[in-house]
Each structure stands twice: as C-alpha cells, then as structure tokens.
Amino acid sequence: MRYDAAAHEARMESMINRYQFILSHDPDPFVQSTTVTKETLIRGTTINKLCEYNAGGFKRVSEWIDEKIQEINEKKNTKTIEDYSTEEIAKLSESLAKNKDEEIFKEKLDECFKLMQGRNAKYGTSWKVLSIQSIANLVEMKMNRIAKLGTDTKTEDEFKDAVNYAIFGLLKLQQNDT
C-alpha cells in the first residue's frame, strides 16, 4: 500500500472533526481534553497513526465513530421528560389542556348539531319564520328554566337548545345583513 499524504491529512481531518463532535455531545472520561488533535488516542492509537492508511484499524475506528454519531443524533431526536425544562413542561401541559378543551368544545357543538337535527326532523324548521327578538326570547326562556330547575339530567339538553337558538339567531342576523 502506497502512502498518500493528502489522503492521510483528509482522513485525519475528518476523524478529528467527527471525534470532536462525539466528545462535545458525549464526553469520554478517558480523554482529559475536549480538544482533539492528531495525537489524541482513540482505542489506544493516535489519530495520526490510525489515518496513515485506509486500512483495518482506521476502518474499525471510523465505523465506531460513525455509530457513536448516529447514537448521539438519535438521542437528540428523542426527548424524555428529563430533557425538558420546567417552563417547557408548563407550556406543553397548557397546550395539551387547551387542545383537550377545544376537543371537548367541538364534541359539544357536534352534540348540539345532532340535537338540532333531531328536533328539526320532529318539528320542522320553524325557527326560520321567527324574528330575531323571538329567538332571543327563546334563549332567555331556556336560561330561565335552567336557573329555576337547577342542574339535572335535562339541564344538558336545555343548554344545547339555548346554543342552537343562539346559532339560529346568528343565522337570522346574517340573512338580514345580506
């Protein structure tokens, strides 16, 4: 095998940079300094000696470095709860709670819609002939009924009816604007 000084330098520079990367993310207790030079020992051999030839020792150490870099990159992409600061955890909790609230809100709107479909099937779309004031009176009536009766199994449907009447009112307002 012929010695190629330029290839040797390129291999050495590559190995120094990659090993420096490893040490900056996963310090080796056997290396006293985080500065890597051609005289730094890797598995008992200097980087300079390893890089002389593109042979067995170089290839084995190079593969080991590549595996370490892959492990570091995989660790970077998978955070555990310990990797988050208190502020980050609070923001994540807040975001999850907000998303959960939005999910529940959408579920309740869907329930209101289904109730409206059932009522429209039974009674027709009489709200279309009502005035906005009449619809507002129906919302008020539903809210007064809830206030007088308190909460029980029928209260949920009363709230849903009030929501549906309010939406009918919004639809009437939109019709009046156009």
CB 122 within 8 A of CB 77: no
- Using one digit for the tens of pLDDT, what is the confidence trace for 57-93? 667 777 777 887 787 777 766 666 666 677 877 777 7
Give the separation between CA 36 and CA 34, rounded to whole angstroms: 6
| C-alpha distances in Å from residue 77, one per residue of 16, 26, 70, 72, 89 | 24, 15, 11, 9, 17
Smallest CA-to-CA distance from 119 within 170, 165, 175, 173 is with 165
Where is pLDDT greater, at 98 or 47? Answer: 98
Mean pLDDT across the chain: 79
Q: How confident is the model at residue 155 (pLDDT cuts 50, 70, 90)?
A: confident
The residues, ordered by sequence, that sit 6+ positions from 169 with a Cβ below 8 Å of its Cβ are: 132, 135, 136, 139
pTM of the predicted protein model: 0.48
Give the pLDDT score at 178. 58
Q: Which of 11-25, 28-42, 105-119 has the lowest mean pLDDT?
A: 28-42
Residue whose pair of structure tokens reads 């009918």 in the numeric block: 168
Give the pLDDT score at 140. 95
Give the separation between CA 124 and CA 127, rounded to whole angstroms: 8
Ranges of each domain in the chain = 5-78, 102-177
